[in-house]
Amino acid sequence: MRNSAFIQHLDIANVLKTELNSVKSKLSEEKRKNSEHQQYIQDLKFQMNHLESVKSERDQFKQELANISKHKEENASRINVQEYVNQIQELKDQVIEKDKTVKMVQDLYFMRSTEFTDEIETLKNEKSDLHSKLQTQENSVKQLTEELQSLRHENYMLSSSQHQQRPNYNNRHYNNRRGGRFR
């Protein structure tokens, strides 16, 4: 009866050890994913900086366009006015197109940033849950280890008391008195 309880405790300890290893591997996997997400956020920040430089160039183009327009108005003859108007319109169209691109990338960055923030928060919560499970399982393993040591001690005590209580049938004096085989 006690051996089955002992074996059962050993089985529980093995299951808990397996669960502990599983939790540790999940925790390392979550750390790796978090690192990948951080890298992706850094890449998005780099792209955002690039877009800001594009926006700066766009502003420079607008300024140059205004300067060219002003300069051309001052120096242009009436014959070339329509040509300049067409060039200005083309430049305005280019600026509008770049504005749309910048706006689209900014919206995409904001959307992805929000998604990553939510995902990071979820990962932190999962990490906290895994840590608390790990703590609980470690406490269970410690308790089972203590119970195992107690059972081993109890088994040792029972075993030693049984050896002391048994008569020694190989003892010559005992066998001589009882008519044993050592006469």
pLDDT at 142 over 90: yes
Higher pLDDT: 158 or 72? It is: 158
> In the chain, count of helices (H) and strands (E)?
3, 0
Residue of 154, 140, 147, 149 lying closest to 16 (CA atoms): 140
How many angstroms from the chain centroid is the CA of residue 35? 8
- What DSSP assignment string belongs to 165-181? HS--TT-HHHHHHHT-S
Which CA distances in Å does 64 have to 102, 111, 181? Answer: 19, 33, 124
Task: Work out the mean pLDDT of the chain and round it to a whole number.
Answer: 84
Query: What one-character-per-residue DSSP string does 44-99 give?
Result: HHHHHHHHHHHHHHHHHHHHHHHHHHHHHHHH--GGGHHHHHHHHHHHHHHHHHHH
Say what the pLDDT of residue 8 is.
87
| Greater pLDDT, 172 or 122 | 122
Q: Residue 183: which pLDDT band, with cuts at 50, 70 and 90? A: very low
Angle at 33 between CA 29 and CA 39, to 5 degrees: 145
Q: What is the pLDDT of residues 52-102, one digit of tens each?
A: 998 999 999 899 988 888 877 776 555 577 888 889 999 999 999 999 999
pTM of the model: 0.32
CA proximity to 108, closest of 47, 38, 36: 47
The pLDDT of residue 153: 93
